[in-house]
Chain A
Amino acid sequence: MLKLRLAELPDARAEGGAPLALPVRPGAALPDRYAAAAAAAGFDPTRGEALRLDGALGDRTAWLIGVAPGPMGMEAAGALAAASLAAVSLAGEERSGERRGVIDARGLPPGDVAALAIGAGMRAHRLPFYGATPPPALRRLELLVEDAAAHEPGIARARAMLRGAGLARDLAAEPANRLTPQIFVERLWELESHGIEVTVRGRRWLERHGYGGLLAVGRGSAHPPRLVELRWPGHSDAPPVAFVGKGITFDTGGVSIKGAAGMEAMKADMAGAAACAGAILALALRDSPAPATAVLAIAENMTDADSYRPGDVLRMASGLTVEVVDTDAEGRLVLADALHHARGLNPAAILDLATLTGSIISALGHHRAGLFGNDDALRDAAMAAGEAVGEPLWPMPIGRRHREDLASEIADLRHCLPPGGGGPGWAGKFLPDACHAAAFLRDFAAPEGGGTVPWAHLDIAGMDLREEGREAGSYPLPPGPSGYGVRLLDRLVADRFE
């Protein structure tokens, strides 16, 4: 976690000799000491690139950081500054990998300074590392401003958000042997120290209450499933907004086992649950007045002698029966029970987040998550929140045919279609699985005749991980979990529920 500190001249410690980054907006005049060098190097701030200048600022390294135009430009500049500052090591820092730096943010309005802090914090976040020499990262950042008091509220909010996103990223990055369902739960217990009420339901409780979806998925694992409620009471008696997260700590696919290539990424198949937990933490840290509750369905999907099988019929918590077609479509089964559970909390709205389908990646790639739901106002609010924080969504349909496709010969519905189940011929090879999943979830989030709670389903499968060499998001982050969803939920609560 990056330590952020506001500093005013002349009492700035200025991190004794640490490198300094100067964000440069297009058209802004450069200080004299940099102008000639910048011109000689052909520095163009609109390109959003960094220029290293040694010797222009005494014996410190200075970085000019171009602020590209666009809504996320300042945040991207913060991230670029953090990456640039971390490239400079002072004496004694080589081994630890811990770097310090300064951003000269004088003359910028509070919103821009907070954006710089968020960008720097997102970029500098150090994910769990179990080797001897951690990769270098910026650990302490001083933001030079004229009036620290004016900026403190924005920075405090940035810190809350960064801790929430950091929690989500750390959890998603943990390998599955170090984050079993039980360990996940233990990590969540720690949130109690922030005023968050934590309730954990174990296997026996789930059996007693008939949570057949979650139990079936977790059945093949040596680590039994859990249903966790994280409750931030806020400061009002209003019904809470409910976040529902898919928390598959590792997804082998079960009996319908996945191919080996890339399976290691399945340790992050709980990124939806992690994002919900991170959002609750962010709300608590900034003492949001709005009550919010996260319902996390946590399980491990393993291939085992006692695993659930394709063809099995499950009775879900809501009472509906489901025919299992593909045990690798497990996320919608655990979410179905968690959505039913969330409905029991009488929430103002339900938002679920899940790394659910490969189909959504085919549809939208790595630049937008898929947004499904039953309520236009909630959809528009979620879209706006996503755009505002650089976690964009795109609305997707739940059509009549999508639900019809889920008809089962033996149960109330099936949870997906088998490969090639789209009918004969060329087109039948392609299945709109993300839409099918959303149509399935709707039966549990908004069952007919069950009263309508506004519900939105975010399929974040393309957005949860950053990979080397693949462009995604508004600006580059180190490979690994992105924390997608934390900021979106935090912003949505601020815009709509506070």
Chain B
Amino acid sequence: MLDIAFAKPTLPESGALVLPLAEDDLGGGLVAEWDRLLGGHLARGISAAEFKGRKGQSATLYAPGGGLSRLVLIGLGKRDALDATAAEAAGGAAVTALGKESLAAIDARALSTNGGPSSGKGAATPADIALGAVLRAWRFDRYRTTEKAEDKPRLTGVKVLCEDPAASRAEWSSRKAVAEGVFLTRELVSEPANILNPPEFADRLRKLEKLGVEVEVFGQKDLEKLGFGSMLCVSQGSAQPPRMVVMRWNGTDQKKKDSKPLAFIGKGVTFDTGGISIKPAGGMEDMKWDMAGAGVVSGLMAALAGRKAKVDVVGLVGLVENMPSGTATRPGDVVTSYSGQTIEVINTDAEGRLVLADVLSYCKKRFDPAFMVNLATLTGAIIVALGNEHAGLFSNDDGLAQRIQEAGKAVGELAWRMPLGDAYDRAIRSDIADMKNVGGGRAGGSITAAQFIQRFVDGCPWAHLDIAGVAWSGKDQPTVPKGATAWGVRLLDRMVAEHHEGRSLAAAPAPEPAEEETALVSGADSASPATLSEGTPASEPLVPTPDAVTRPAESGAPVPRAPRRPATRRPRR
């Protein structure tokens, strides 16, 4: 991470200076002040470069005087439209404009004073700028062994010039923790699948213990004992054993047994070939990031623990590799999930929901959380529906959905609500089992996937984020370089901070039992996850496993099944 410092505004002795300016700032005191220090070079440069302060505009003045190597002007647009996102974007833009500079100062005052909505948060804005800069400057170059030193980015530190450095420094510390979380996620998502297999993923998560996160790892035998038939049918074709990692950060003074934690669950398919229903070759290399949901949950735990959030949170990730082989699951196989419900596997490439099913059921049963939010690169259909700007948001709880959407808007990670309903649920009825893992045809593919997952949440307030379109970016964005985005870490950190921190969790929105789901008690197998198989000593179980498994009944009015027939119509435009 870039070194970040905050200081009173003075002319740096060397290096670069970045000057973000709103349209309204041209001709103002700030410009005049720097112009004086630089002997008139700034005014001449602004005029010659036709710099108007428009949003997205930037100009570079080389050797502007005062010993500076360069002065970068960044346009902010209209002053009254400035907010935290604009400050972050300015930080990001500064990094890209700095070229081969190694040290730079950014004058934050145009953003933090006399502003619109951001004024009054004067100390926060310099920290926002710093956050934008570090997020944009991140780079994954572990495997670039022959890159010449002069070709590597050289920027090592940024000094943010502001009125109250001490206050901004205090604001920065929590943002720094979030950035660390984002970087953990980006790194996990960027790693190739031969390096980051399920055991390696789990080992890396153990390092979160240093931050005070309790980490518990479940191996093949533990999962077999628990009866994770749905998740294990995905990994059974791979030479890599599966893992489930349960992380807990409790920053409250509540005892665990009295607490209903918040729960975040991630799909972690470290590589997805599709299995026997194998994917076409084109673009398959991207399937190394089919663990982005798990990556986001990991980064979120790191962020919350890193900033010592006053909240009790559990993060669960289901880690598997989906390979075709002689031992792989076949289309048509029927498996029994941890919840006791049976699943007919129609398409082995619809594996993410099979992993989530067991992890969600387990999470609900063991922790009885205040809510569950799961993230998964689940369907291509969500990209066909929404594109790459919004993640798909499915939820049985309007309040939770709204909190997610609002937090997303605040940090620039947008989520769009998508529908659920009995009619969609009927599409996953099976002739042989309780459900099948895909609906008929491609119609509403993201929705039927969400309906599948919903059958395993057992009435818990729940939201599902389908992040297939937003987990990886094909191009640079203001604060996100091309590649792994870590979409979701900042959103969920923000949601926790705004709504769930520092107050009794009893005050968290009360879970409303879903109407259509009647809880039935069944005696599904369960065992205490005391030992981790495959050699490694296991951590202690965090909470004794409750005895009874609740199992959601099939929802929806009984309607005679119609024979299905593959859609023959070509999609029309």
Contact = CB atoms under 8 A, between A and B. Distances in A.
A425 interface: yes
B572 A425 contact: no
B278 to A, nearest CB: 14
Nearest to B442: A362
Contacts of A364: 385, 419, 444, 447
A308 to B, nearest CB: 15
Contacts of B418: 363, 394
Contacts of B424: 365, 367
A367 B423 contact: yes
Interface in A280-336: 326, 328-331
A428 B388 CA distance: 10
Contact of A48 (B384, B389, B557): B557
B204 to A, nearest CB: 24
B557 A401 contact: no
B386 A397 contact: yes
Given A47-B557, A367-B424, A468-B565, A358 B419 contact: no
Interface in B438-459: 439-440, 442-448
Contacts of B354: none
A269 B384 contact: no
Nearest to B384: A362
Interface in B456-481: 468-469, 472, 474-475
B513 interface: no
A424 interface: yes
Tell me what chain B mostly uses at the interface: helix, strand, loop, or mixed: loop
A269 B572 contact: yes
A470 interface: yes
Contacts of A433: 384, 573
Contacts of B439: 365
B444 A367 contact: yes
A363 B557 contact: no
Contacts of A462: 443
Interface stretch (A129-137, A168-176, A227-235, A256-264): A256-264
Nearest to B423: A367
A362 B286 contact: no
Nearest to A400: B389
Contact of A432 (B383, B423, B570): B383
Interface in B413-433: 414, 416, 418-419, 421, 423-424, 426-427
Interface in B529-573: 557-560, 562-565, 567-573
B286 A427 contact: yes
A471 B426 contact: yes
Nearest to A357: B573
Nearest to B443: A365
B286 A425 contact: yes
A416 B387 contact: no
A429 B572 contact: no
B572 A396 contact: no
Contact of B571 (A46, A48, A358, A368): A358
B29 interface: no
Nearest to A430: B383
Interface residues of B, number: 54
A435 B287 contact: no
A237 B466 CA distance: 48
B562 A357 contact: no
A434 interface: yes
Contact of B285 (A269, A368, A425): A425
Contact of B572 (A47, A48, A461, A470): A461
Contact of B386 (A361, A425, A432, A471): A432
A427 B442 contact: no
Interface string A429-449: 111111111000000000000
B283 interface: yes
Nearest to A326: B573
A468 B427 CA distance: 15
Contacts of B520: none
B179 interface: no
Nearest to A367: B423
Given A399-B389, A425-B286, A425-B474, A365 B573 contact: no
Given A363-B381, A433-B384, A401 B570 contact: no
A358 B573 contact: yes
Interface in B241-255: none
A402 interface: yes
A266 B573 CA distance: 11
Nearest to B568: A262
A365 B422 CA distance: 13
A117 to B, nearest CB: 24
A27 B489 CA distance: 51
Given A429-B282, A430-B383, A435-B387, A366 B562 contact: no
Interface in A389-427: 394, 396-397, 399-402, 405, 416, 422-427
A363 B558 contact: no
A363 B468 CA distance: 14
A357 B570 CA distance: 10
Given A361-B442, A362-B445, A470-B565, A437 B573 contact: yes
A132 B385 CA distance: 44
A72 to B, nearest CB: 11
Contact of A429 (B380, B414, B557, B558): B380
Given A425-B283, A427-B468, A396 B385 contact: yes
Contact of A427 (B383, B557, B559, B563): B383
Interface string B467-509: 0110010110000000000000000000000000000000000
12 contacts: A262-B568, A263-B570, A361-B444, A362-B443, A366-B444, A367-B419, A397-B386, A399-B414, A427-B468, A430-B469, A437-B573, A461-B571
- The 7 A-B residue pairs with the shortest CB-CB distance, nearest first, are A358-B571, A365-B444, A363-B385, A432-B387, A426-B283, A423-B474, A430-B383
Interface of B: 282-287, 380-381, 383-390, 414, 416, 418-419, 421, 423-424, 426-427, 439-440, 442-448, 468-469, 472, 474-475, 557-560, 562-565, 567-573
Given A416-B573, A427-B383, 5 more contacts: A362-B444, A364-B444, A425-B474, A429-B283, A431-B387
Interface of A: 46-49, 68, 251, 258-259, 261-263, 265-266, 269, 326, 328-331, 355-359, 361-368, 394, 396-397, 399-402, 405, 416, 422-437, 461-462, 467-471
